[in-house]
C-alpha cells in the first residue's frame, strides 16, 4: 500500500521533531531538503493506518520517504508554473485553524497556548510559524493539483466500483450521529430586494454612459475585493454560484451584464475579464440585500412555530423539513445532514446537539443569517460506511483516488525534470 499524496497531516509529529537529537538529511529534491526527523515524524503518523502498520518497517520508511519526495517534486512544479500563495492567504488559514482548534477543544486562546506548549514544547508564535510553513506548502500542493488534475466528476458506476474494491479499507466511524435540521433564513422582504435592484440598474446605466467600472466598484460594491475593482480572480467551471456563472459565461471579454443578477448574496453586476475552456476570470459589483428588524422578527416567529409543531410529534420532523426548510441541499432529503462523527460537527452546532438523546429536537440557534433547529435521529458507537447512507463521503474518496492516480502519473514525469538525491539508509 503506497502512502497517497496529501495524506500527511498538518503539524504531525512537531513535538517528535523537536526532540530529535541527531539530525541528518534524508533526501534533496531540486535543492529542497527533507530531514530525517521529518521522515520519522511522518512515519509515526502513517503507522496509525492499520494496513500500513502491517508492512515491513523498511518498506514503511521507503514509502513515506517517496511520498515526501513526490510532494517536493510538486512544490518544484509550483515554482515552474509561477504559482504563488500570499502571506495574507496563509494568515487567514492559520487564524481559522487555530480558532477551529480552540473551538473543538472548548478552550480560550490563553488555555490553548498552554496546551500547545505542553504538547509540542513550542510557544504560540513558534507554533504559528511552523503551521504557516506547512499551510503554505499544502496550499501550493492544492493549487498544482487544481491546475493539472482539474475537476473530477465520477459516475455512479465509478463510485460503486471504488466502493466494492476498497470497502474493507474505508475508515470506520466512531461515536457517530445521524442528524436532521430545519433552516429558516432571515430574508429581506420584496421591497428591500426591489430597491437594491433599482440601484443596481442605475449603476449599469452609469456604466453605459461611460463611467469607469473601477470607480463605481469602489464606490458601491459591498465586497472585500471592491478596492481591486471587484476582481474575483480565476475560477474553474462549477465553483461559482450557478446563477452568477450562467450569466458570466454569456459575456465576451470586456462586457458586463446588461441587467443585475440575483444570487443568495444579493444583486451582482458582472464583468468578464478573461476566459479559458475550463474557467473564467470575472469582476463584480455586489449590492447586498440586508434584512430589516421586522424580517428578523418574522423569522424567529416562524422557527418557533415550526419547532412547537415538531415537539408535539404529530407531524414528522422529516415532513416539516421538506415543507419549510430553506436549505436546498437537505430539504429534499427530509432535512438529513447524514451520518457523521461528533468530532466532525461544526463548532457552531456542537453545543446545541451535545445534550440531545435520539428523537429529541433542539432549541433554536442562529448561525450566520439563518435560524436552525436540529433533531438527533440516531446514535451509534461505531459503524461502517455504505453506499445508501454515505454516498457523498464515498464519492469524495473516489474523487481523491482518481485525482491521486492522475497526479501520480504526472509526478512520475516531473521527477525526471529535477535532481533527486536520497541519503537516508546510505
CATH, range 14-155+390-422: 1.10.4030.10
3 state SS of 96: helix
What cell numbers appear for 275 in the block? 476566459
Provide the CA 188 distance to its chain's centre, in angstroms: 28
Instruction: Lay out the sheet containing 261-263: strands in order across.
Output: 231-236, 279-287, 266-276, 261-263
CATH, range 173-187+292-383: 3.10.50.40
Start-end ranges of CATH 3.10.50.40 in the chain? 173-187+292-383, 190-287
Q: Residue ranges of the chain with pLDDT lower than 50?
A: 1-22
Q: Residue length, the chain?
A: 426
Strand partners, 382: 174
Q: What is the distance between the alpha carbons of residues 279 and 275, in angstroms, rounded to a whole number?
A: 6
CATH, range 190-287: 3.10.50.40
pTM: 0.66
The pLDDT, as a whole number, for residue 52 is 84
Tell me, what DSSP letter sits at residue 292? Answer: P
- For residues 285 and 268, the answer to whether their CB atoms sit within 8 Å is yes
- For residues 217 and 229, the answer to whether their CB atoms sit within 8 Å is yes
Residue whose entry in the numeric block shows the C-alpha cell 497531516: 9
The pLDDT, as a whole number, for residue 106 is 76
The pLDDT, as a whole number, for residue 6 is 39
Q: Which residues contact 27 (CB under 8 A, 6 or more apart)?
A: 33, 34, 65, 68, 69, 72, 420, 421, 422, 423, 424
The pLDDT, as a whole number, for residue 272 is 96
What cell numbers appear for 238 in the block? 462549477
The pLDDT, as a whole number, for residue 426 is 67
Amino acid at each position: 500500500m503506497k502512502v497517497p499524496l496529501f495524506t500527511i497531516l498538518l503539524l504531525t509529529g512537531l513535538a517528535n521533531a523537536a526532540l530529535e537529537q541527531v539530525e541528518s538529511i534524508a533526501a534533496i529534491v531540486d535543492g529542497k531538503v527533507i530531514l530525517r526527523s521529518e521522515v520519522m515524524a511522518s512515519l509515526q503518523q502513517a503507522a496509525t493506518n492499520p494496513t500500513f502498520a502491517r508492512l515491513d518497517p523498511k518498506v514503511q520508511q521507503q514509502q513515506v520517504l517517496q511520498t515526501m519526495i513526490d510532494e517536493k517534486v510538486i512544490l518544484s512544479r509550483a515554482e515552474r508554473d509561477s504559482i504563488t500563495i500570499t502571506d495574507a492567504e496563509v494568515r487567514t488559514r492559520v487564524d481559522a485553524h487555530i480558532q477551529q482548534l480552540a473551538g473543538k477543544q472548548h478552550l480560550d486562546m490563553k488555555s490553548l497556548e498552554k496546551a500547545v506548549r505542553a504538547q509540542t514544547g513550542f510557544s504560540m508564535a513558534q507554533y504559528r510559524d511552523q503551521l504557516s510553513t506547512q499551510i503554505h506548502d499544502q496550499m501550493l500542493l492544492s493549487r498544482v493539483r487544481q491546475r493539472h488534475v482539474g475537476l473530477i466528476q465520477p459516475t455512479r458506476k465509478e463510485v460503486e466500483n471504488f466502493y466494492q474494491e476498497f470497502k474493507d479499507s474505508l475508515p470506520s466511524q466512531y461515536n457517530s450521529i445521524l442528524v436532521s435540521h430545519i433552516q429558516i433564513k432571515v430574508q429581506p422582504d420584496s421591497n428591500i430586494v426591489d430597491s437594491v435592484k433599482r440601484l443596481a440598474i442605475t449603476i449599469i446605466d452609469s456604466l453605459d454612459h461611460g463611467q469607469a467600472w473601477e470607480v463605481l466598484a469602489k464606490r458601491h460594491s459591498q465586497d472585500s475585493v471592491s478596492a481591486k475593482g471587484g476582481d474575483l480572480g480565476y475560477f474553474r467551471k462549477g465553483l461559482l454560484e450557478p446563477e452568477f456563472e450562467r450569466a458570466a459565461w454569456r459575456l465576451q471579454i470586456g462586457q458586463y451584464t446588461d441587467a443585475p443578477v440575483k444570487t443568495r448574496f444579493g444583486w451582482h453586476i458582472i464583468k468578464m475579464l478573461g476566459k479559458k475552456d475550463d474557467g473564467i476570470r470575472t469582476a463584480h459589483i455586489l449590492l447586498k440585500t440586508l434584512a430589516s428588524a421586522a424580517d428578523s422578527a418574522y423569522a424567529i416567529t416562524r422557527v418557533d412555530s415550526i419547532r412547537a409543531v415538531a415537539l408535539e410529534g404529530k407531524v414528522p420532523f422529516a415532513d416539516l423539513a421538506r415543507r419549510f426548510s430553506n436549505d436546498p441541499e437537505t430539504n429534499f432529503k427530509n432535512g438529513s445532514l447524514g451520518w457523521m462523527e461528533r468530532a466532525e460537527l461544526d463548532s457552531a452546532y456542537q453545543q446545541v446537539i451535545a445534550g440531545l438523546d435520539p428523537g429529541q429536537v433542539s432549541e433554536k440557534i442562529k448561525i450566520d443569517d439563518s435560524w436552525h433547529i436540529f433533531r438527533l435521529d440516531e446514535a451509534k458507537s461505531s459503524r461502517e460506511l455504505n453506499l445508501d447512507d454515505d454516498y457523498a463521503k464515498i464519492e469524495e474518496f473516489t474523487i481523491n483516488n482518481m485525482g491521486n492516480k492522475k497526479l501520480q502519473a504526472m509526478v512520475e514525469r516531473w521527477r525526471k525534470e529535477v535532481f533527486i538525491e536520497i541519503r537516508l539508509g546510505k
